[in-house]
Amino acid sequence: MDIYNGWLIVNSYYNPAKFHALYKVLEESAQKAGLRLSKWTSDQRPTIIGSKAKEPKPAFVLFWDKDVQLAHTMELSGLRLFNSATAITLADDKIETALKLAAAGIPIPDTIPAPTCFPGCRRNPASAEEAARLLGWPLVIKENKGSFGQQVYLANNKAEAERILNHIGEHDCLFQRYIAPSKGKDLRVTVVGGKAICAMERHSANPTEFRSNIGVGGTAVSRPLSALEEKLAVSAANALGLDFAGVDILLGRDDDERYVCEVNSNPQLQSTIDTCGINPATNIMWHIRSLVKGAATAVGTTPDPITE
């Protein structure tokens, strides 16, 4: 089997221990698909905007970071990124995601961008009150960029919204309709190469917690997808141009009511592996292989030639 070299790009600063297990899964899964990954933190791969990638260059870059400036710079230099810089940019910003999904006709919870707040300005809670006039209380408030449920809040009234907005400060944020039937639960669907490969229903740690993220104590069970859920998950990944994605779906009053909550461009895989008994990294690697094959030069089994 021809071997293709790739870089695994990870963040320079945020590298908690749980990510090390993920990187190991990625590297081992790559090997099984005939891909050889060498891991670099983003600071180890500075790239001049407009420069050409040095030869020999990797057949692909598995970009497991949100550093979209570096991602775009690498693409401009001629490297093939998974996910692409544009797809990561769209997925990493919840308003960008909402705009794309809504434009594609995919159901999302009603969402209002909060007014931009410049450094040194103070957010006005009247903006939340105006939003709640349209969306109702309780009101979901989210920072546009956030993960693991950590930047997602629920305000029951104007005073709570004010506290949340003061905490958020100048970070971009949004107001969203609270999907009450989904309280404390959602569906995480893993999509690779336009196919939904597995799903798990997640439940929050306690009845007062509305967020079902594993990162805030949630638990998960594997479950089959309905035709609607499968269609929404795949359409959402396609709408953002993601080669692989973790799509969060909120549950409505009945089986016909589903909303795409958010889409992750570099989802945590361990909970899916543990819950569904499927390793999506293997699917990701075979998907990458099928796309780089032919487009790249196979390097055989020679030692990694990628040095500078």
Ligand X SMILES: Nc1ncnc2c1ncn2[C@@H]1O[C@H](COP(=O)(O)OP(=O)(O)O)[C@@H](O)[C@H]1O
Counting residues that bind Mg ion (by CB under 5 A) gives 2
Q: Does 143 bind Mg ion (CB under 5 A)?
A: no
Distance, CA of 73 to CA of 115 (rounded, Å): 30
- Dihedral sign computed on CA atoms, order 97, 245, 183, 142: negative
CB neighbour list of residue 82: distance below 8 Å, 6 or more residues apart: 60, 61, 62, 63, 243, 244, 284, 288, 291
CA distance 138 to 115: 19
Binding region for ligand X (CB under 6 A) out of 26-34, 206-214, 282-290, 296-304: 206-214
Q: Does 109 bind ligand X (CB under 6 A)?
A: yes
Of 73 and 97, CB closest to ligand X = 97
Under the binding rule (CB under 6 A), the answer on residue 179 touching ligand X is: yes
- The CA distance from 64 to 41, in Å, is 10
The Cα-based distances of 128 to 114, 131, 163, 182, 195 in angstroms read 8, 5, 11, 22, 38
Pairing of strands 195-203, 185-192: antiparallel
Residue 56 and residue 305 in contact, taking contact as beta carbons nearer than 8 Å: yes
Chosen residue from 125, 138, 149, 246 binding ligand X by CB under 6 A: 149
CB of 281 to ligand X, least distance (A): 20
Q: Does 261 bind ligand X (CB under 6 A)?
A: yes
Which of 58, 125, 138, 146 is close enough to bind ligand X by CB under 6 A? Answer: 146
Residue from the set 218, 248, 260, 289 that interacts with Mg ion by CB under 5 A: 248
Closest distance of CB 204 from Mg ion, Å: 12
Where on the chain is the footprint of Mg ion (CB under 5 A)? 248, 262
Where on the chain is the footprint of ligand X (CB under 6 A)? 109, 140, 142, 146-149, 151-152, 176-179, 182, 186, 210-213, 248, 250, 261-262
